[in-house]
């Protein structure tokens, strides 16, 4: 009997625990919880009986009360289990009423009658519950339909002792244990059936929902993908799930991302992270590049924790954005980074470089490229630019980053730290590269370029100031024939705040008429007679040292103020002429400088004509000086304006002649009257080579009937040499510095250098 009790106890206990464990896994199968607890209670009941038999009178009463509560509890659990098994609802009020009724019934039988009688009542209740369950579940197609009959049998077996006496105890025990075992197994199977059906239903619903989705959806355990929708296969270029192996999954993730992605997946799967999202490059099965966005979270798939992944294919959007970004930061013709990209790079370098770390910026501008385009056509010009780009890139890979700043302007940013000497070496290397011919399919071309070199931090510590300095140096280099390098000096640099301040002050300066003109005499090279004055702008800023016209004219050009400043100065020159006219019988023409930008304005000749008319100044008293670069850079536009000016009766001088290369051709094309030889050609005189160059210019000018002025003559030797070379007029410190109107009047009155 003891063995039988142990066997019954173990069976009931194991079934109870098993059912509870099943409930922990599948919470939806609530009946496994109820019946599991009911089994555990049944397993404990025999112990209550032995406690009762060993207790004293008071103890027995206590045990009886406990048993009443315990019995009515587990019978309620049995009823609840069947209600849940039949998937019915029961209110808490009903549960409370059932517990109360059962307690009263059990209490009455326990205290009035005997243990066997109480067991029989319990059996009858079990039988009743079984009958109800039978009614509810018999129609079911699953094994749960047997729960009712089995319970009825259990109820009957419990009553056996009362009907057949103590002899039937062993039989009752055995039968009850077997019935509990069978009922447990039935419930077990029912739970599994239900879970599987539910999982199937959910899976079908999930598949229906994701089937037509444009986003890829996949369900995976740690390594294995168990479900994916058609969009997922399409994104990766797969035909079926079979093609996805764990190796493929790992290979699809770039190496540098793999560890991070795996950690995220594990953390989401083990629940330490609720969800995760990331994006990155991936490859389709055929190798095509993709850009995908991933979102993952934990889910349950067929009873197991799994990862749900939603993939959005961002490739098109990403590629469009990348193309737009490339377009915005790169030059279309050469594919090189553009000015904006260079500025960004420069700012980065300025921010990340240590103050003791030097780097070099070279600006390179092809000389006379406009003429090249005019002569060979723009498509050939494009080919030359591409060939130059290729050569520079090939030769300077790893040494400098190349960008294209404008039509014929390039920048080279040294990749590594370079000291001043090494930067010079780099510039010379570029010069050597430029000396090679550019080989195009039909022809070979040679190009000259002017190179401006700026050094961080020596010339500037900000991107803008470095660029400005290199640009100014490049413009200086333009004045030297052939491919030449000029190193930027501090004077080329103005801090951005300073530039802004100067531009603001310039505006106020024009309104407040803070500008005046200084007049530098031009004399006859043979007899020193005064032939004319050049009017040179001066800015009198309160509390500020004299600002060079090179600086403020450039600022006026940048801000678009050059038009109004130019007209203001022209008016001042006219006023001065009228004044001198009143004060002196002698009068000489005054040459006013004109900015390239003024000359580009189609309304400029008319403005000049109107101003002269307003002051009543005849055109022969005013001439204009246009710098060579302006005329060359925009030949066609300049030509139209120059013709109109000539038609108005104004003489035009080509200023700073000799700083470019195409000058000789220019002289023939433009309607000019005077050519002013730049100081850089006069300075080396009387060296024989220098005299030869000046002589050649004078001879050509003579055939074109142009007058020649030598600029920047500082010594008597230069003056003599210029005169012998054929210059008609001389201008320079040797005769006079730019003068105030009063000093200039003295010259006018004397008709030559006045004797002080
Ligand atoms: P530029 O038109 O070539 O003027 C000649 C410059 O050379 C003047 O400098 C003059 O002072 C300087 N110079 C004359 N003789 C000598 C000499 O013997 N030795 C040396 N070292 N220099 C000499 P400045 O006045 O500083 O003007 C510089 C430039 O600024 C001018 O060059 C011109 O391009 C521009 N500029 C001056 N005034 C005006 C103006 O009213 N309008 C425009 N658009 N530009 C102007
Ligand atoms: Mg001039
Ligand atoms: Mg000049």
SS3 29: coil
Q: In this predicted model, what pLDDT tens digit does every residue of 369-426 receive, in sequence order?
A: 877 787 788 888 899 899 999 999 999 988 899 999 888 899 999 887 778 788 888 8
For residue 376, give both structure tokens: 């060979």
CA–CA dist 636, 642 (Å, integer): 10
Whole-number Å distance, alpha carbon 16 to ligand 1 midpoint, is 108
Ligand nearest to the CA of 591: 2
Looking at the fold, whether 447 and 351 belong to one and the same domain comes out as yes
> For ligand 1, is residue 290 a contact (CB within 6 Å)?
no
Whole-number Å distance, alpha carbon 503 to ligand 2 midpoint, is 23
Q: Any idea what DSSP says for residue 436?
A: S
State which of 533, 593, 596 you would mutate to test the pocket of ligand 1, scoring each by most atoms of that ligand within 8 A of its C-beta. Answer: 593
The residue nearest atom 20 of ligand 1, judged by CA position, is 712
> For ligand 1, is residue 733 a contact (CB within 6 Å)?
yes
Q: Largest Cα–Cα distance in the chain?
A: 160
Looking at the fold, whether 185 and 231 belong to one and the same domain comes out as no
Looking at the fold, whether 350 and 456 belong to one and the same domain comes out as yes
Decide if 476 contacts 484 (C-beta within 8 A): no
Q: How confident is the model at residue 635 (pLDDT cuts 50, 70, 90)?
A: low
> For ligand 1, is residue 448 a contact (CB within 6 Å)?
no
Looking at the fold, whether 305 and 379 belong to one and the same domain comes out as no
Given a cut of 80, whether residue 498 has pLDDT beyond it is no
Crossing angle for the helix pair 741-750 and 562-583, to the nearest 10 degrees: 40
Q: Is the peptide bond before 457 cis (omega within 30 degrees of 0)?
A: yes
Mean pLDDT of 228-243: 88
Instruction: Identify the domain boundary among 196, 223, 238.
Output: 196
SS3 134: helix
Average pLDDT value over all residues in the chain? 86
CA–CA dist 724, 726 (Å, integer): 5
pTM higher than the cut 0.75: no
**Is 204 a member of any domain?**
no
Ligand nearest to the CA of 712: 1
State which of 523, 536, 562, 576 you would mutate to test the pocket of ligand 1, scoring each by most atoms of that ligand within 8 A of its C-beta. Answer: 536
Counting atoms of ligand 1 from 1, which one is nearest the CA of 549?
30
Looking at the fold, whether 351 and 394 belong to one and the same domain comes out as yes
Best CA proximity match to 569, nearest among 602, 607, 522, 531 = 607
**What CATH number does the domain containing 734 carry?**
3.20.20.450
pLDDT value of position 606: 95
Given a cut of 80, whether residue 85 has pLDDT beyond it is yes
> For ligand 1, is residue 596 a contact (CB within 6 Å)?
no
Pairing of strands 707-710, 729-730: parallel
**Is 513 a member of any domain?**
no
**Is 511 a member of any domain?**
no
Q: In this predicted model, what pLDDT tens digit does every residue of 97-129 receive, in sequence order?
A: 888 888 888 888 877 766 677 778 888 889 999
pLDDT value of position 484: 79
**Is 189 a member of any domain?**
yes
Q: How confident is the model at residue 81 (pLDDT cuts 50, 70, 90)?
A: very high
- Identify any residues that bridge with 308 across adjacent strands, giving them in sequence order: 219, 297
Given a cut of 80, whether residue 86 has pLDDT beyond it is yes
- CA 153 to mean position of chain CA atoms: 77
234: containing domain: 212-319
Number of domains within the chain: 4
- The residues placing their C-beta within 5 Å of ligand 2, an ion, are 593, 625, 655
Between 617 and 638, the more confident residue is: 617
**Is 332 a member of any domain?**
no
**Is 355 a member of any domain?**
yes
> For ligand 1, is residue 155 a contact (CB within 6 Å)?
no
Ligand nearest to the CA of 733: 1
Looking at the fold, whether 135 and 103 belong to one and the same domain comes out as yes
> For ligand 1, is residue 732 a contact (CB within 6 Å)?
yes
The residue nearest atom 41 of ligand 1, judged by CA position, is 537
> Exposure of 47 by Cβ count < 10 A (0-12 exposed, 13-18 middle, 19+ buried)?
exposed
Lowest mean pLDDT among 596-600, 683-687, 750-754: 596-600
Given a cut of 80, whether residue 1 has pLDDT beyond it is no
**What CATH number does the domain containing 479 carry?**
3.30.70.270
Given a cut of 60, whether residue 79 has pLDDT beyond it is yes
> For ligand 1, is residue 521 a contact (CB within 6 Å)?
no
The residue nearest atom 22 of ligand 1, judged by CA position, is 712
> For ligand 1, is residue 628 a contact (CB within 6 Å)?
no
**HEC per residue, 351-391:** HHCCCCCCEEEEEEEECCHHHHHHHHCHHHHHHHHHHHHHH
Instruction: Identify the domain boundary among 196, 225, 243.
Output: 196
Instruction: Identify the domain boundary among 149, 166, 196.
Output: 196
Q: Any idea what DSSP says for residue 590?
A: E
Looking at the fold, whether 573 and 443 belong to one and the same domain comes out as no
Looking at the fold, whether 177 and 237 belong to one and the same domain comes out as no
The torsion angles phi and psi of 102, rounded to 5 degrees, stand at: -65, -40
Q: How confident is the model at residue 661 (pLDDT cuts 50, 70, 90)?
A: very low
Looking at the fold, whether 584 and 672 belong to one and the same domain comes out as yes
- What is the share, in percent, of the chain residues with pLDDT greater than 90? 35
CA–CA dist 325, 430 (Å, integer): 30
Q: How confident is the model at residue 31 (pLDDT cuts 50, 70, 90)?
A: very high
Between 457 and 600, the more confident residue is: 457
**What CATH number does the domain containing 253 carry?**
3.30.450.20
**Is 704 a member of any domain?**
yes
Looking at the fold, whether 276 and 394 belong to one and the same domain comes out as no
Q: In this predicted model, what pLDDT tens digit does every residue of 447-495 receive, in sequence order?
A: 888 899 999 888 888 888 888 888 888 887 876 767 778 888 755 555 5
- What is the share, in percent, of the chain residues with pLDDT greater than 70? 93
Looking at the fold, whether 313 and 342 belong to one and the same domain comes out as no
Whole-number Å distance, alpha carbon 73 to ligand 2 midpoint, is 114
Given a cut of 80, whether residue 95 has pLDDT beyond it is yes
Q: In this predicted model, what pLDDT tens digit does every residue of 141-187 receive, in sequence order?
A: 888 999 999 999 998 888 876 667 666 677 777 888 899 899 999 99
Mean pLDDT of 2-31: 87
Lowest mean pLDDT among 57-61, 311-315, 722-726: 57-61
Mean pLDDT of 710-730: 96
Lowest mean pLDDT among 117-131, 266-280, 601-615: 117-131
The residue nearest atom 16 of ligand 1, judged by CA position, is 712
**Is 512 a member of any domain?**
no
Looking at the fold, whether 44 and 188 belong to one and the same domain comes out as yes
Q: In this predicted model, what pLDDT tens digit does every residue of 511-570 receive, in sequence order?
A: 888 999 999 999 999 999 999 999 999 998 877 777 889 888 878 877 778 889 999 999
Pairing of strands 225-228, 359-366: unpaired
Q: In this predicted model, what pLDDT tens digit does every residue of 330-375 receive, in sequence order?
A: 888 999 999 889 999 999 999 988 878 889 999 999 887 877 787 7
Best CA proximity match to 150, nearest among 188, 182, 189 = 182
């Amino acid at each position: 009997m003891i063995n039988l009790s142990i066997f019954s106890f173990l069976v009931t206990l194991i079934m109870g625990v098993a059912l509870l464990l099943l409930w922990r896994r599948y919470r939806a199968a609530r009946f496994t919880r109820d019946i599991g607890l009911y089994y555990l209670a049944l397993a404990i009941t025999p112990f209550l009986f032995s406690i009762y038999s060993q207790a004293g009178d008071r103890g027995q009463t206590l045990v009886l009360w406990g048993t009443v509560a315990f019995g009515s509890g587990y019978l309620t659990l049995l009823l609840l289990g069947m209600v849940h098994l039949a998937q019915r609802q029961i209110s808490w009020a009903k549960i409370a009423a059932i517990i109360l009724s059962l307690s009263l019934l059990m209490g009455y039988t326990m205290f009035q009658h005997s243990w066997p009688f109480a067991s029989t009542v319990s059996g009858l209740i079990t039988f009743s519950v079984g009958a109800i369950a039978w009614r509810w579940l018999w129609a079911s197609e699953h094994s749960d339909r047997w729960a009712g009959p089995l319970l009825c049998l259990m109820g009957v077996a419990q009553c056996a002792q009362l009907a057949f006496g103590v002899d039937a105890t062993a039989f009752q025990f055995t039968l009850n244990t077997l019935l509990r075992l069978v009922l447990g197994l039935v419930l077990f199977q029912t739970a599994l059936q239900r879970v599987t059906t539910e999982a199937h239903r959910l899976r079908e619903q999930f598949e229906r929902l994701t089937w037509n989705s444009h986003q890829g959806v996949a369900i995976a355990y740690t390594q294995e993908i168990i479900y994916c929708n058609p969009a997922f296969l399409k994104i990766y270029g797969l035909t079926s799930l079979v093609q996805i192996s764990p190796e493929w999954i790992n290979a699809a993730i770039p190496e540098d991302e793999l560890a991070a992605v795996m950690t995220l997946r594990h953390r989401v799967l083990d629940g330490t992270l609720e969800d995760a999202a990331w994006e990155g490059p991936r490859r389709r099965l055929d190798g095509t590049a993709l850009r995908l966005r991933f979102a993952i979270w934990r889910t349950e798939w067929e009873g197991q924790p799994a990862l749900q992944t939603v993939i959005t294919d961002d490739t098109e959007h990403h590629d469009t954005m990348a193309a737009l970004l490339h377009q915005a930061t790169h030059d279309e013709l050469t594919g090189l980074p553009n000015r904006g990209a260079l500025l960004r790079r420069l700012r980065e370098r300025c921010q990340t470089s240590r103050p003791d770390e030097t780097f070099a910026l070279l600006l390179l501008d092809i000389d006379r490229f406009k003429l090249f385009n005019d002569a060979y056509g723009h498509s050939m010009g494009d080919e030359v630019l591409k060939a130059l780009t290729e050569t520079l890139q090939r030769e300077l890979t790893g040494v400098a980053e190349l960008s294209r700043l404008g039509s014929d302007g390039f920048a080279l940013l040294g990749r590594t730290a370079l000291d001043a000497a090494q930067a010079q070496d780099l510039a010379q290397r570029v010069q050597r590269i430029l000396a090679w011919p550019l080989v195009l399919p039909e022809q070979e071309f040679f190009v000259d370029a002017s190179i401006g070199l700026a050094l961080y931090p020596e010339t500037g510590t900000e991107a803008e100031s470095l660029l400005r300095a290199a640009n100014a140096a490049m413009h200086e280099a333009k004045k030297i024939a052939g491919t030449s390098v000029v190193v930027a000096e501090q004077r080329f640099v103005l801090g951005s705040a300073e530039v802004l301040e100067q531009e603001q002050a310039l505006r106020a300066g024009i309104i407040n008429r803070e500008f005046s003109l200084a007049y530098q005499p031009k004399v006859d090279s043979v007899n020193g007679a005064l032939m004319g004055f050049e009017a040179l702008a001066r800015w009198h800023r309160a509390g500020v040292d004299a600002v060079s016209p090179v600086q403020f004219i450039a600022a006026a050009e940048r801000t678009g103020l050059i038009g109004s400043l130019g007209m203001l100065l022209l008016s001042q020159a006219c006023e001065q002429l009228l004044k001198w006219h009143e004060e002196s019988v002698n009068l000489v023409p005054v040459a006013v400088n004109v900015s390239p930008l003024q000359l580009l304005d189609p309304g400029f000749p008319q403005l000049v004509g109107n101003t002269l008319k307003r002051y009543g100044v005849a055109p022969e008293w005013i001439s204009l000086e246009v710098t060579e670069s302006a005329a060359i850079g925009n030949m066609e536009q300049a030509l139209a304006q120059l013709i109109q000016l000539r038609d108005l009766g104004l003489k035009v001088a080509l200023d700073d002649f000799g700083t470019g290369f195409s000058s000789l051709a220019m002289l023939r094309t433009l309607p000019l009257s005077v050519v002013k030889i730049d100081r850089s050609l006069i300075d080396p005189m009387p060296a024989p080579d220098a005299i030869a160059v000046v002589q050649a210019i004078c001879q050509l000018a003579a055939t074109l009937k142009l007058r020649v002025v030598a600029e920047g003559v500082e010594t008597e030797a230069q003056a003599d040499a210029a005169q012998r070379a054929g210059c008609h007029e001389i201008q320079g410190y040797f005769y006079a510095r730019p003068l105030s109107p009063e000093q200039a009047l003295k010259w006018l009155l004397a008709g030559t250098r006045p004797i002080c």
